Structure 1
């Protein structure tokens, strides 16, 4: 059973369709860690052009989905409720496998360090337990 539904996620982060890239939050430790899920559908708008003959979820959108999961985790802290988490940097992103329609993308973001409104998180996206993307994400709360 999910910890947060799509509707509850939208109460925490400002993203909306078609740019809300997570369906549910499966695990949540506010301020520390979150695990989200994205069921990748052939109906995603980006598949019309990426790539029509061989649909592949753009890697940058997987990184964005990881960031959205991290934003749910950090904005779950009382001190940051109602604020927005912005990208400060994407470090060491590595793309290990394609993500295609029908995949269930599991998105895990864990805070590594934080000083005031600036923080760094490690992020990992997997499909069937196999790593699709790993990255280190820097964020700023505004």
Structure 2
């Protein structure tokens, strides 16, 4: 996968919140410790691209054990966060309804660490879509540095 961002961020106002936690509750069944998105900042007009944020806290369930004395946000949770952003983008505009399950993850690359205190921004861009299935490229950035990327496949279940 390319090390360039999926779309330019210079026109996205990171202080804007399109979907807060209350609205995210309408689109995601995940809650509590498994909610990986704090807010959605932007979704393209057609719902084919999205930008969201997760603030990494020092009181999260994984901090004590991954890794003791040097907590690093687990890669599997980066993937889950990206999948949740994709699900929100597809359901918010009514393109898909019901539960979207994560069915596949390809081309995963971890390029940097994400630690407590970081603002972990997520990007998603649709590759293909039909009513039952979608494929999206996803990325994660911290301090405008690419730290993660993967291709996510989801399906209406």
TM-score range, shorter chain: over 0.9
Aligned residue for 1:104? 119
Partner of 2:80: 64
1:136 aligns with 2:151: yes
Q: From the superposition, tell whether residues 107 and 79 of structure 1 become closer, same or farther in structure 2 (CA, over 3 Å).
A: closer
Aligned residue pairs total 141
| 2-structure distance, mates of 1:115, 1:8 | 24
The alpha-carbon deviation at position 116 of structure 1 amounts to 2.9
Q: Distance in 1 between matches of 2:95 and 2:43?
A: 17
Residue 80 of structure 1 corresponds to which residue in structure 2? Answer: 96
Hey, which of these two has a bigger chunk of strand by percent? 1
TM-score (norm 2): 0.86
Provide Cα deviations, 1:11-39, integer angstroms capped at 9, x if missing partner: 11111011001100000135312111001
Who is 1:32 aligned against?
48
Unaligned runs of 5+ in 1: none
Match in the other structure for 1:20? 35
Query: Alpha-carbon deviations, 1:62-117, whole Å to 9, x = none?
Result: 11001100000011232423x11111110000000000011000001111101331
* CA distance in structure 2 between the aligned counterparts of 1:38 and 1:86, rounded to whole angstroms: 20
CA contact (8 A) 1:75 1:84 kept: no
